[in-house]
Amino acid sequence: MGTAAVHLLLLLGLLHAGPGGEGRKGWRRRGPAVRDRGEAAAAAAESFPLDFTAVEGNMDSFMAQVKSLAQSLYPCSAQALPHDLRLHLLHNASVTCNDGSPAGYYLKESKGSRRWLLFLEGGWYCFNRENCDTRYDTMRRLMSSREWPATRVGTGILSSQPEENPHWWNANMVFIPYCSSDVWSGASSKSEKNEYAFMGALIIQEVIKELVGKGLSTAKVLLLAGSSAGGTGVLLNVDRVAEQLEEMGYQGIQVRGLADSGWFLDNKQYRRTDCIDTITCAPTEAIRRGIRYWNGIVPERCKLQFKEGEEWNCFFGYKIYPTLRCPVFVVQWLFDEAQLTVDNVHLTGQPVQEGQWLYIQNLGRELRNTLKDVTASFAPACLSHEIITRNHWTDIQVKGTSLPRALHCWDRSLHESNKNGKAPLKGCPIHLIDSCPWPHCNPSCPTIRDQFTGQEMNVIQFLMHMGFDVQKMAQQQGLEPSKLLGMLSSGN
């Protein structure tokens, strides 16, 4: 056996026998790297110094070392690893997109891994014939599978690169395209009466059925993730997925949720407008109309909390979250662009009025308050929308902790059964909410560019651009203007 293979086997032995159950079991699921011992024996003998003491503190660096070792042992096969997710249209042709074309999913299998990540795509919704027709004319890929590409490249939490996706890179990845326009809640087929099908909830159920035959039956963890409408879809469907798997006889699979940018508020709009289209209609009214149009279904435990006809309440995170049985991690920008859009605060590049500025600040406070009892959350004070599939998702931090690190801590806390009122893992926070009061007061927020010049703006330039009055705000805070500017520059 070659020296390189011996090093790899010693590494596996150390992880297997050493302390730290999470790292050990996570590695054992990544067994495929040592399957072909003949190939390993033929590899050139090299020495790879690996620092095991830093594994818990710096998992990103450790995974980069492991990837380097694996690629050195298997230079050919490492380059041939399939990084693309491949399209599979559903065998059950009765479960369709809006236009009656077959729904489907993209899959990248990871042989040997018992972790599955299913991602629900987002993309707003439509709630009547007129705005669904407009949506079909302008955003057809969100209503039909006819022009879907054969493959997709996973990014962010769907990436196969450890540097971009430190803790989930080796999972089985499933991307479920959004083509039902119903926030993943509908259960009505296309007919003479219904021009469009709305089958979001049924699409998820059908994908689960097909994946069971592709290895999901042996899964240990299933993470149902989603962004925007897909994030709300996670809240609406995570318990149903767990119940479906239990009914199919797979009680051992731990089902969890990750809701990104789908925690909307049913607050009062900044400026009330008539419910004409998706953008101008207040969220409560849009969902109230939509749930009837889609024949939308909500979890029974949430439905029972409200009167008949008020099931729309279950589309709002802070109302459905207390009824959920599955653990859910909530990722939400405190100043979400989609929330501001439906609230009729349009940041068009012109300085905002004082009333808008106060409304934006209050929105952050309201959002923060709804998250105070959410066990696992990550809420940066940024003006943005969606994050977990962005390739820069590792850069955003709250109180010095990145989102991938927080998700890893959450994974460990669930694995080690610390969720029932016990103290959180030391140095591994999972409740991370920015306390600073303004958009982009967190220095790790995504870059903002001037809409007219394309130039990057720092925090002070951005706030000034929005009409921020330094003198007045400093006076309100009891600070010197120069002191306030210094705090803003440092992100405090």
| Tens place of pLDDT per residue across the chain (492 aa) | 444 443 444 444 433 333 333 333 333 333 333 334 333 333 333 333 333 434 444 555 555 555 555 544 444 434 445 569 999 999 999 999 999 999 999 999 998 899 999 999 999 999 999 999 999 999 999 999 999 999 999 999 999 999 999 999 999 999 999 999 999 999 988 876 778 999 999 999 999 999 999 999 999 999 999 999 999 999 999 999 999 999 999 999 999 999 999 999 999 888 888 888 888 888 899 999 999 999 999 999 999 999 999 999 999 999 999 999 999 999 999 999 999 988 888 766 566 677 888 899 999 999 999 999 999 999 999 999 999 999 999 999 999 999 999 999 999 999 875 444 455 678 899 999 999 888 888 989 987 765 555 555 656 566 666 666 666 766 766 777 666 666 555 544
- Alpha-carbon torsion, ordered 51, 54, 60, 66, to 10 deg: 30
Find the angle CA(103)-CA(108)-CA(114) to the nearest 5 degrees: 110
Q: Which residue has the tokens 């959180």?
A: 424
CB-hemisphere CA count at 13 Å for 134? 11
Under 8 Å between Cβ of 90 and 202: no
Of residues 146, 120, 122, 142, the one with CA closest to residue 131: 142
Whole-angstrom Cα distance, residue 364 to residue 382? 9
Q: Which two tokens mark 213?
A: 């035959």
Instruction: Tell me the domains of the chain and their CATH numbers.
Output: 81-418+425-442 (3.40.50)
pLDDT at 49: 38
Backbone angles phi, psi at 282, to 5 degrees: -60, 140
Q: What is the DSSP string of 300-363?
A: HHHHTTS-TT-GGGGGSHHHHGGG--S-EEEE--TEEHHHHHHTT----SSPPPHHHHHHHHHH
Contacts with 72 (C-beta within 8 Å, 6 or more apart), sequence order: 4, 43, 46, 48
User: At which residue do the structure tokens 């997109």 appear?
Assistant: 97
- Give the count of beta carbons closer than 10 Å to the beta carbon of residue 418: 15
How many CA atoms, within 13 angstroms, populate the side-chain half-sphere of residue 340?
24
Query: Is the torsion defined by CA of 409, 410, 416, 422 positive or negative?
Result: positive
Task: Cite the DSSP H helix spans in 343-451.
Answer: 354-370, 403-415
In single-letter form, the type of residue at position 325 comes to R
Q: How far is CA 446 from CA 239, 328, 335, in A?
A: 32, 24, 12
Question: Helix H segments across 188-335?
Answer: 200-212, 229-247, 283-294, 300-303, 317-320
Classify burial at 366, counting beta carbons within 10 Å of its beta carbon; exposed 0-12, middle 13-18, buried 19 or more: middle
Instruction: Report yes or no: 369 and 319 within 8 Å, Cβ to Cβ.
Output: no
Percent of residues in the chain assigned helix, strand, coil, to nearest 5: 40, 15, 45
Q: How far is residue 270's CA from residue 428's CA, in Å, rounded to a whole number?
A: 38
* From 160, 180, 228, 413, the catalytic residue: 228
Place of tokens 């491949």: 86
**pLDDT score of 447:** 78
Cβ–Cβ under 8 Å, residues 187 and 296: yes
Cβ 23 vs Cβ 65: under 8 Å: no
**Catalytic residue status for 228:** yes
Residues whose CB falls within 8 Å of the CB of residue 145, separated by 6 or more in sequence, listed in order: 89, 97, 101, 102, 103, 104, 177, 179
Nearest to 261 by CA among 334, 184, 164, 325: 334
Cross-strand bridge partners of residue 431: 377
Residue 115 contacts residue 168 (beta carbons within 8 Å): yes
Nearest Cα residue to 160 out of 291, 273, 71, 58:
71
Q: According to the model, what pLDDT value does residue 417 have?
A: 58
Q: What is the pLDDT of residue 10?
A: 40
**Six-digit token string for 264:** 């909307």
The pLDDT value recorded for residue 223 is 98
Give the residue carrying structure tokens 């119903």: 182
88 in active site: no
- Active-site residue, selected from the candidate residues 182, 239, 260, 336: 336
* pLDDT of the residue at 282: 87
Active site residue 47: no
Which of 385, 408, 431, 440 does the annotation list as catalytic?
385
